[in-house]
Amino acid sequence: MSTSIFAQTTWKVDPAHAKVTFSTVHNTISDVEGLFNAFESSVTATKADFSDGVFELSVDVNSIDTEIKMRDDHLRSADFFDVENFPKMTFKSTSVEKTNVKNRYKLKGNLTMRGVTKAVTMDLWYRGTITDAQSGNEIAGFQITGKLNRLDFEVGTKFPEALISNEVLIKVDGEYIKEK
């Protein structure tokens, strides 16, 4: 008789192989994209397919980068993210639900931005796990995508949707290294 026990494992994001990006529509006619350069993330799970995973993300909002310094400074201001008072954006999952597509899940959790916490549902794609030939590390790949309403988090409330869309597309994509 043999018994298989899956131990709880923790996986930490590899910042060199990960991004936290966003996109919104400006003036109803063009996309404006950006990213956050500083963040930490981890996944803790007991199942090999991560279907019981707890996903956590902490973003340094001051690291926002749209490649336009003037716009980035405005986004850091009280008009938008108010980084002086709310320097971090955080997410912690509350559940992972399988879909009908292999390795695709609905990731539910609590997002806190600008001091407002709301339950959100995102799409999670577990892209697989490999063993890195050089380091011997086990590496798992994940992509999380979804849509948020910026007004739900009191971001840019003075700016109408005709100027900046209320809908913001979010994408977190990266490789996570299993802790030894």
140-171 pLDDT, tens digit per residue, is 999 999 999 999 999 999 999 999 999 999 99
User: What CA–CA distance (Å, rounded) separates 142 from 133?
Assistant: 20
87 pLDDT more than 60? yes
* Token pair of 64 as six digits: 């926002």
Question: How many independent structural domains does the chain possess?
Answer: 1
> At 4, is the pLDDT very low, low, confident or very high (cuts 50, 70, 90)?
very low
Range of the domain at 76: 9-178
User: In this structure, is residue 135 part of a structural domain?
Assistant: yes
CA dihedral in degrees (71, 72, 78, 82; nearest 10)?
160
User: In this structure, is residue 63 part of a structural domain?
Assistant: yes
Count helices and strands (H / E) in the chain: 1, 10
User: In this structure, is residue 3 part of a structural domain?
Assistant: no
User: What CA–CA distance (Å, rounded) separates 148 from 104?
Assistant: 20
Q: Is 83 helix (H, G, I), strand (E, B) or coil?
A: coil
User: In this structure, is residue 73 part of a structural domain?
Assistant: yes
Per-residue pLDDT at 180: 87
| CATH number where 171 lies | 2.40.128.110
User: In this structure, is residue 79 part of a structural domain?
Assistant: yes
User: What CA–CA distance (Å, rounded) separates 64 from 34?
Assistant: 7
User: In this structure, is residue 159 part of a structural domain?
Assistant: yes
Cβ pair 28, 164 in contact under 8 A: no
Per-residue pLDDT at 6: 61
User: In this structure, is residue 4 part of a structural domain?
Assistant: no
Residue range 50-68: average pLDDT? Answer: 97
Cβ pair 20, 36 in contact under 8 A: yes
Would the pTM of this model clear 0.85, i.e. be above it?
yes
Per-residue pLDDT at 66: 98
